[in-house]
Structure 1
Amino acid sequence: MSPLPPPDRSGDDPSSSLSDEELESFLREAAEGGGASAPKEPSARARMVARRLREEETAAARRTPRPAPKRDGRPRRRRTWAVAGVLALAVLAVVAVRPSLVLDRLPGGGDDGSATPLAAETGRPTGAPAEPAGSARATRDHPFRGSPAERWAEGADAIEVPEAKALSGMSEKDVAFALRRAKELLVAANLDADVLRGEHPDEALDVLDPKQPKLLPKLRRSLSRPDEDHDPLRLFTRFDPHETRPAGDAVKVRGRMTLAAGEPGVVKVDADYTFVYPRVRANDQDGPVARTIIRRVLTLTLNDPARWEVTDGKLLVERYFSEYGNTSCGIHDGYLHPGFGDEDPGGERATGPLADPYDRSRPLTGTEPDDCGKVSRT
């Protein structure tokens, strides 16, 4: 095929671009076999594409022998293929003029950051989530773009409690109460707007049993005078409001909650959730978006006060582990410090292994190295 002639740009005029409605109307009428003529092409680029497509169709027609007409319906089928070919050519021409009309209708391909939501997680995944299609970066309007979290549910609604049932000598009502209180703790510690900007997590602390030895005093000490051994981030999500602020109102959440029977009179609630927080600099109106990812694994118990020395209506914490993605190393001031794409993160240099913060297939047991590692993506 001979090379195409140089494009004629004398007719290019952005103000003459076809509207989405005109192009979509043309495609719809062509698909229905209508006789509407194609809308006027707006630019030299569109004319060049259409001319090339016509040349290719003509060349193909010359190479293909024309069959003799028959009475068995084949001419009708051939005509159907011809209509389909015209439609295909029209689609190609439209894509050449305005590709977003087609790409925006593909799952996850639009400029609005939309994507097909994932079903709720019912068990541990078998591997890390795939990299989203394309290489689009997060923006302030779409802070989860380019992240697996774009398809996750958001906020407290993403924390779904399982169906309650009688366990370990505890009634169904008691178990339902334990599940509800476990969700209240997760929401108050990781999603409450006041806690996220560094305020005291009173509602979260109120869920916990004051009779559990050392736990509440340790947590209060970490909140008032944080250091390496007393870090409130092990249970609470907090950002320095003078450093960063939320990029929008949404926090994406992915995980699951399960029930288990403990000793007689003890119900266990296991929670494994990953939270994704988009942030921007506090005093920056146009800067980039950073995402910090936190995974928390907790086992909470509701104990029967008739059998155990506990406070009625309060939960005990059997274990709690956390893993942080995209926060500075070596800073123990009680706040998370996201790293932005246009700068090196503060704090010490990361020394741990590279890890994917979205990989929920790995167990989190508390035996992981304490080294601060790099993340493969945010």
Structure 2
Amino acid sequence: MSDKPSDGHPSASDIPDDVWEQFTRDTERDIRGSAPKEPSARARMVTERLRLQEERGEVPPGWRTGPVPPESNRRAGRRRTLWTVLGVAVAVTVAVVALKPSLLPGDPFGTGESGAGEASSLPAETAAPTSAPGASDPETPTLDKPFAGSPALRWADGEAGIVLPEAKAVGAVSKDRVEQALKLTKKLLVAANLDPATVRGERPEAALDVLDPKQPGLLDNLNTALRSPSDKHDPLTMFSRFDPDEIRPVGDVIKTRGRMTFEKGSHAGVAVRADYTFVYPVMRADGSTEVTRTIVRRVLDVELADPTRYRVTEGRLTVREYDEEVGNSACDVHDGYLHPEFPSNRDKGTDPTGPTTDPYDRSKVLDDGAPCGTVTRT
């Protein structure tokens, strides 16, 4: 009898044993996790023969273990394991966020919870504002949040708030000369209002070094004011200073906002106008944790004159005019220091005679000689 069926296809008995063995080795690992299937008679016969070979120690390599996976398969396995671990972590995170959405930064679900997002910083001021800043949340400043409830919360920190305009030539004055004047003006503002030594009442040497010693009377008047402050000679007209025996700064940040412009000067140089407001959070030096703020606005007109045509010192500024306005400092005290008032110790029996002003309103022109009044906010 022929071993070949009538349809012309080979029967299982015609397939060599080594082919069946290879087939079994290649497919065992793939079918191990699938639903069990009844093997054919030929497959059972080969499997039984391989089992007997295993008992005699004649099992071919890879029979029970399967072929060694190539390197690419091992890498893929590690990726799958990693994604599984990440998947578990993501699931846990989703569950936590579902219970407390405020844990996500920026309050993406619009829960409106307090502190859901930090106030965004304002862009640099490039022109005079048309009105005062809008109302802020009525929060009380604390040691941890000294600018809470203040428009200055969105202002730049310290020196970062003094952004110089792009220098350009002005008439015969070169671009480099204009840039020098702008940098000197910034140096003066920083040294007079932001330098920690100046703010704690020390002599502002760095600021004085920017001023031209040949300008008649200026340095003499400032030195007199620093040495023997009085109503006539008041260092606060140029410098921001607190008495260290009375006041301590809260943190190391002073908020700053303003702008700087330039034009052709009257002494063959470049004239610079600086208009900046500084906000100082402070506390008492006696250990009290009550926090308040003093706000100082300064308008300063200086010129870097041409030393080849005028009797000036190269690299020093000539001050043409300077003015200031202070919010939240005791009136009629002329000892050379700012004296902020705290909500807990304001004298309720004394009513200021001056106008009520918003110290954050940078849209107004400073009123020279205005009487001491009341600030609407600090």
Is TM-score (shorter-chain normalized) higher than 0.5?
yes
Which residue is 1:11 aligned to?
none
Partner of 1:198: 201
* TM-superposed deviation, 1:283: 2.0
Taking a change above 3 Å as real, the CA distance of residues 375 and 115 of structure 1, as seen in their structure-2 partners, is: same
How far 1:350 moved relative to its partner? 2.3
SS in 1 for 2:343: coil
1:158 matched to 2:227: no
CA distance in structure 2 between the aligned counterparts of 1:254 and 1:111, rounded to whole angstroms:
24
Residue equivalent to 1:176:
179
8 Å Cα contact 1:103/1:110 also seen in 2: no
Letter matched to residue 203 of structure 1: A
Match of 1:305 among 304, 307, 311: 307
Within a 5 Å distance, the mapping from 1:79-118 to structure 2 comes to 105=107, 110-111=114-115, 114-118=118-122
Which residue is 2:340 aligned to?
A: 338
Return the alpha-carbon distance in structure 2 between the equivalents of residues 249 and 112 of structure 1.
25
CA RMSD in angstroms comes to: 2.7
Uncovered stretches (5+) of structure 1, i.e. residues with no partner: 1-20, 30-38, 40-93
Residue type at the aligned position of 2:311: E
Indicate the residue corresponding to 1:375 in structure 2: 375
Structure 2 matches for 1:160-309, cutoff 5 A? Answer: 160-263=163-266, 265-285=268-288, 287-309=289-311
SS in 1 for 2:332: coil
CA contact (8 A) 1:108 1:116 kept: no
CA distance in 2, matches of 1:354, 1:293: 14
Q: How do 1:133-152 residues align onto structure 2 when only pairs under 5 Å count?
A: 134-152=137-155
Does the Cα contact within 8 Å between 1:114 and 1:150 map onto a contact in 2?
no
Alpha-carbon distance in 1 for matches of 2:239, 2:133: 25
Tell whether the 8 Å contact from 2:97 to 2:104 is kept in structure 1 after alignment: no
Q: Deviations over 1:139-173 (max 9, x none)?
A: 10010010000000011111011111111422111
**1:363 is the counterpart of 2:368:** no
**3-state SS of 2:271 partner:** strand
SS at match of 1:305: coil
Alpha-carbon distance change, 340 to 262 in structure 1, aligned in 2, over 3 angstroms = same
SS at match of 1:279: strand
1:282 CA displacement? 0.7
Q: Which has the larger radius of gyration?
A: 2
Residues 300-340 of structure 1 deviation map (CA, whole Å, 9 limit, x = unaligned):
10000011111111100011000000000110000000111
Identity of aligned residues (%): 49
Distance 1:129 1:108 in 2: 22
Counterpart in 1 of 2:317? 315
Residues 1:118 and 1:22: Cα distance change in structure 2 (over 3 Å): farther
Mapped partners of 1:119, 1:107: distance in 2:
27
What SS does the aligned partner of 1:207 have? Answer: coil
* Secondary structure in structure 1 of the residue aligned to 2:302: strand
- Structure 1: distance between partners of 2:356 and 2:236: 21
Distance in 2 (alpha carbons) for counterparts of 1:251 and 1:180: 20
Counterpart of 1:127 in 2: which secondary structure?
coil
CA distance in 2 between counterparts of 1:107 and 1:186 reads: 42
User: How far apart are 1:111 and its partner, in Å?
Assistant: 3.9
Given that 2:97 and 2:103 are in contact with CA atoms closer than 8 Å, whether structure 1 keeps it comes out as no
Give distance in 1, aligned partners of 2:358 and 2:258. 16
Q: Secondary structure at the match of 1:258?
A: strand
**Shift of residue 346 of structure 1?**
11
Task: Name the structure 1 match of 2:77.
Answer: none
**In the alignment, which of 123, 126, 149 is matched to residue 127 of structure 2?**
123
Report the TM-score, using the length of structure 1 for normalisation. Answer: 0.71
* 1:117 partner letter: S
CA distance in 1 between counterparts of 2:132 and 2:113 reads 21
- Secondary structure at 1:150's aligned position in 2? helix
d(CA) in 2 for partners of 1:171 and 1:116? 37
Distance 2:234 2:182 in 1: 26
Aligned AA for 1:25?
V
Instruction: Give how far 1:23 is off.
Output: 10
**Is the contact made by 2:105 and 2:117 (CA closer than 8 Å) also made in structure 1?**
no
Distance 2:127 2:115 in 1: 32
Q: Name the SS of the counterpart of 2:209 in structure 1.
A: helix
Rounded to whole Å, the distance in 2 between the matches of 1:201 and 1:109 is 45
Q: Distance in 2 between matches of 1:206 and 1:345?
A: 40
| Range that drifts further, 195-204 or 263-272 | 263-272
Task: Determine the C-alpha separation between the residues in 2 that align with 1:212 and 1:347.
Answer: 45
For 1:348 and 1:112, the matched residues in 2 are separated by: 41
The letter for the 2-side match of 1:308 is: Y
Opposite residue 320 of structure 1, the aligned amino acid is Y
Aligned residues: 287
Are residues 1:25 and 2:27 paired? Answer: no
